Amino acid sequence: MSGDHEALRSRLPEEARSRVSALREASGVVTVVLDASGLDQLGRDRLEVAVKGALRQADGVSEVRVAMTADRAPEPRREAPRGPRIVAVGSGKGGVGKSTLSANLAVALARLGLRVGLVDADIYGPSQPRLMGAEGQRPTAHDEKLVPLDTQWGVRVLSVGNLVEPGRAVAWRGPMAGGALGQLMDAHWDNTDVIVIDLPPGTGDVQLTMVQKHKPDGAVIVSTPQDLALIDATRAMNFFEQTKVPVIGMVENMSGYICPHCGEESDPFGHGGAEAVAAQQAVPFLGHIPLDLAIRQESDAGRPPAAGDSPQGKAFRAIAEKVAAWLEQTA
Ligand code: ADP
C-alpha cells in the first residue's frame, strides 16, 4: 500500500508535501496529518483546501480528512500596537546642558506638530519640573499608572523631581532607580508620538538599565566644545553603540558667547569641537547652541526658549527639525 500512498503524496502541491507527517487510506477515506507550524489561520485554511482539492481527484478516494498539528499556536494576525517613539538625550558628564536641550527639544518638536512627552530620568539632578514650569506638581495615578503632567508648552512631562523631595533620589541604588524610572516610562503615554528622555549624565548602571529596558529608537548626545567634555561625549557615543541605540546626532552646547554688553563674540569653551568629533566618529552633527545668558535666565524661570522665536529658540528648532526628520525616515 505504501506505493499507493506515494502516488497520493505526489499529487500534493510542493508546500503541502513537505508538511505531511502522516498519510493513511482506508476504504477510500484518506486521512492526512499536516504540520502547520508557523502558519496563521489563513495559511492553514489555504493548505487544507489545496490538500483536499488535490487528493479528492485521485482514483478510489471518496473522502479526504485533514488534521493539522503545530509546535506552537499560530501568531494572531493583528497589527502590533505601536507605542511612542523614544529619543534619549545623553551626555558624557553633567553640566553640559543636557536637561536644557531635552526640554527645548521637546518643546520644539511639539511646535512642529508632534505629540510629545518628556521623561526626566536624571535622578541625580531632576531639573525638568523647573525648566518646564511644573515645579511642586504631583502627578496622579490611574489604573496604577502615572498620568503625565500637562504643561503650558504643549508637552506632557513626568520627572523624578515630581515624585520625591529634591535630593532624595540621589541616594537610590540601581534597582530602586530602575523601578522609579520604569514608572515614568510605563505611564499613560497614550496619544504620544515621541517621548524625549533626559537621561542621567554618564554611562553607568542606571543608564544601562534604562536603555536596555526601554530601548530608545535613537539618542542625541550633548557636549560642550572643550576637549575634556568631548572625551566624555565620545564615551557616551560608544555606550549607545554598544547598547545598539542608533545615535541620531551630536549637539554642541555653550558654543560661542556673545557678550550682552558689547556684542563681541568669544569662545570660553572653544567652538566646533563637538562638530569635529561628530565628523571623526561619522555621527551626524545636529547644531550649535550658543552660550547665552538669556538661555539660562529663561530656563530658570520655567520658560523654555524654544517656545519663542528668538535666535535661541530658532537654534533649538533647527535641531528639532533634524530629529523629526530622522524619526520620519526611520518610522
Ligand atoms: P546638564 O543637564 O547637562 O547637567 P543643564 O541643562 O542643567 O545641564 O545646564 C547646566 C546649567 O547651564 C544650567 O544652569 C543651564 O541653565 C545652563 N545652560 C545650559 N545651556 C546653556 C546655554 N546654552 N547658555 C547659557 N546657559 C546654559
Q: Among the atoms of ligand 1, which is closest to the Cα of residue 291?
A: 24
- Which residues, in sequence order, are CB contacts of 282 under 8 Å at separation 6+? none
Q: What is the pLDDT along the chain (331 residues), one digit of tens a residue?
A: 445 688 899 999 888 899 998 999 889 999 999 998 888 887 888 888 889 989 988 888 999 999 988 765 555 555 556 789 999 999 998 999 999 999 999 999 999 999 999 999 988 889 999 999 999 999 999 999 999 999 999 999 999 898 887 667 666 666 777 788 899 999 999 999 999 999 999 998 889 989 999 999 999 999 998 877 788 889 999 999 999 999 999 999 998 887 778 877 787 777 788 888 899 889 999 999 999 999 999 999 999 999 999 999 999 999 999 999 999 999 9
**Ligand 1: does its nearest atom lie under 6 Å from the Cβ of 95?**
yes
How close is the Cα of 16 to the center of ligand 1, in Å? 65
**Whose CA is closest to 285, among 201, 227, 221?**
221
**Ligand 1 center from residue 229 Cα (angstroms):** 14
166 vs 251: CA distance, rounded Å: 28
Residue with cell 566618529: 281
Ligand 1 atom closest to Cα of residue 253:
23
The SS3 call for residue 302 is coil
Question: Among the atoms of ligand 1, which is closest to the Cα of residue 292?
Answer: 24
Ligand 1 near 120 CB (within 6 A): no
> How much distance in Å is there from the Cα of 197 to the middle of ligand 1?
16
CB distance 223 to ligand 1 below 6 Å = no
Q: Which atom of ligand 1 is nearest to the CA of 300?
A: 16
For residue 4, give Cα distances in angstroms to 9, 49, 128. Answer: 9, 21, 76
Total residue length of the chain:
331
Among residues 3, 7, 26, 27, the alpha carbon closest in space to that of 17 is found at 7
What CA–CA distance (Å, rounded) separates 219 from 286? 12
d(CA 148, CA 140): 8
Q: Which domains does the chain have, with CATH numbers?
A: 2-69 (3.30.300.130), 85-329 (3.40.50.300)
Ligand 1 pocket mutation, candidates 160, 265, 296, 298, criterion most atoms within 8 A of CB = 296
Asked whether the beta carbons of 295 and 308 are under 8 A apart, the reply is: no
- Ligand 1 centre to CA of 139 (Å) is 25
Question: Model-level pTM?
Answer: 0.76
Instruction: Give the three-class secondary structure for 220.
Output: strand
From the list 202, 201, 279, 207, the residue with the least C-alpha distance to 243 is 207
Q: How far is the CA of 99 from the centre of ligand 1 (A)?
A: 7
* DSSP per residue, 17-55: HTTEEEEEEETTEEEEEEE-TT--HHHHHHHHHHHHHHH
Please write the tens of the pLDDT for every residue from 127-142. 999 999 999 999 999 9
What pLDDT, on a 0 to 100 scale, did the predictor assign at position 73?
Answer: 57
Q: Which of 198, 203, 299, 310 to mutate to test the pocket of ligand 1 (most atoms within 8 A of CB)?
A: 299
All three cell numbers of 310, joined, read 528668538
Q: How far is CA 98 from the centre of its chain?
A: 18
Tell me, using a 6 A CB cutoff, whether residue 292 lines ligand 1.
Answer: yes
Q: What is the pLDDT, as a whole number, of residue 65?
A: 92
